[in-house]
Chain A
Amino acid sequence: MKIWLAHHRHAFVSSLHRLATAPFATFFTLVSLGITLSLPAGLAAGLASLQQLADRLPAQGTLTVYIRTDASSDDRAALDRRVHALPGLASARFISRNDALHELSQHLGLPDLSAELPDNPLPDAWQLTPTRIDPALNREWSERLSHLAGVDLVLGDQVWVSRLNALVALGDRLTTFLAMLLAAGLVTISGNIIRLQILTRLPEIEVSQLIGATDRFIQRPFLYFGALQGLLSGVLAWGIVCIAIWLATPELGELARLYGSAFVLGYPTASAGLTLTAVAAALGWLGAWLALRYTLLR
């Protein structure tokens, strides 16, 4: 047990030593790995914020059914029955064309709108609110209602939400793909650095084997080095993402304000950052492991 601890301490100290003896090489490597990692990490942070925005949009899944102005009273009665027979209906509000014009004129601050218009151009409408937000339910409703006689148009407020959601899902896909690509890149870069290290340390490895070093003893410092390198580049990537968000926040806030939106780019959570560093460390370790497999297995 003591020997085991001594071995691990030895490996850790010697890998730290290797990082410190070549500060420039270490710095450039870490920066390149950090930038590589910060790309998918930054994208993921942006997407998380966008997802939050989508979740916060005040959509209740409301559906508005516009009624043709020339609809007969039979058609209207049939529609009334169909509306109230809808599954999952929370409330149905009938908005007459006069009420609608009144609302509009108040909205626009033009109290005499009804007087000035020769004819009320607005249709009668039903505003339907479901018990739950469910795009499938909305689709079912609009299928049931849109082909009825007397119905002009069925519009849902969910359209924007589902568009945003689709966009976020697409972004998620892209980010996952990019993350996998760059993870492979990190493994390759880290593995290549370790491979070069192994090659420059072949004399030491050979002598160590001759005087009784186990394979584990020989591999351990390289594995530590790979993991440490990955860990540090993960921390760096975390830092890069935070700085980028910090730099972008005033401009984004201004932009969002102009659009009357509450969009804020959130900083990655602590658990996301820690996951990032842990994954980076694991990838660095994997790179070292692969390099050892292919360089020492002769």
Chain B
Amino acid sequence: MIRFEQVSKRYPGGHDALHEVTLHIESGELVFLTGHSGAGKSTLLKLISAIERPTSGNIWVNEQNISRIRRSALPFLRRNIGLVFQDHKLLFDRNVIHNVLLPLDIAGFRRHDAFSRARAALDKVGLLDREKSMPVALSGGEQQRLCIARAIVSRPPLLLADEPTGNLDSGYTADIMRIFSEFHRTGTTVIISSHDPSAVPAGRQRIVRLDHGSLAS
């Protein structure tokens, strides 16, 4: 589903965030992306969703080479990806349920269907009783869960979660991980980044470790 071929990313300013990364992730995999702060985890996820472009190398997502994707094709790539942002990117001018409705409005869902879907997503992350609250009234962990609800509401085939457990205590971390593995069991490809190795649940999951922009195995 995702293929990186000798991908390097140098940000303007000369910093090499990724260096010659070659990586293959199968459809339906659950992958943990770990590495120290600044290792390039967010950069790698941004390359997959074409938020950033690689400096060199090629990236395929769903057999589509997105290193040179046209701007007009971006929305249709992104609709197949659920994104949990490290900085949440919630909209503070609307309440919880309307934050979750945004992807459904973009996809053109009917209002009635959209509401029931949004409620189901909020239920999954344990925020159903807060649907009328404004995001400022949520704790850091609740905001993070709201961001997850927004990412999963349109049931995308690929879910990219950037530090989804950064602000959560271990109890909620386990809850969130359960949501992701539930999602994974329904066939979704899931990539979760974390700088904290202890957040990775014990098991036989695939772990991809980055070290100063290069793959470390």
Binding site for B on A (CB under 8 A): 2-4, 6-7, 10, 203-204, 206-215, 217
Contacts and interface: CB of A to CB of B under 8 A. Distances in A.
Given A207-B91, A211-B106, 11 more contacts: A2-B110, A6-B108, A7-B108, A203-B92, A210-B51, A210-B83, A212-B77, A212-B78, A212-B103, A213-B106, A217-B75
Contact of A212 (B72, B92, B106): B106
A218 to B, nearest CB: 9
B15 interface: no
Contacts, number: 55
Contacts of B103: 211-212
Given A2-B108, A7-B108, A207-B102, A214 B91 contact: no
Interface string B167-182: 0000000000000000
B64 to A, nearest CB: 15
A3 B113 CA distance: 13
B106 A208 contact: yes
Contacts of B72: 214-215
A203 B51 contact: no
B204 interface: no
A20 B102 CA distance: 20
A204 B83 contact: no
25 contacts: A2-B108, A2-B110, A3-B107, A3-B108, A4-B108, A6-B108, A6-B109, A203-B89, A203-B92, A204-B91, A204-B93, A207-B89, A208-B102, A209-B75, A210-B51, A210-B85, A210-B89, A211-B83, A211-B102, A211-B106, A212-B77, A212-B81, A212-B107, A214-B72, A217-B75
Interface string B73-94: 0111111010101000101110
Contacts of A214: 72, 75
A27 B74 CA distance: 39
Contacts of B79: 211-212
A208 B106 CA distance: 8
A293 to B, nearest CB: 15
B196 interface: no
Contacts of A3: 107-108
A211 B102 CA distance: 9
A213 B109 CA distance: 13
Contacts of B5: none
A160 B85 CA distance: 78
B78 A211 contact: yes
A221 to B, nearest CB: 10
B123 interface: no
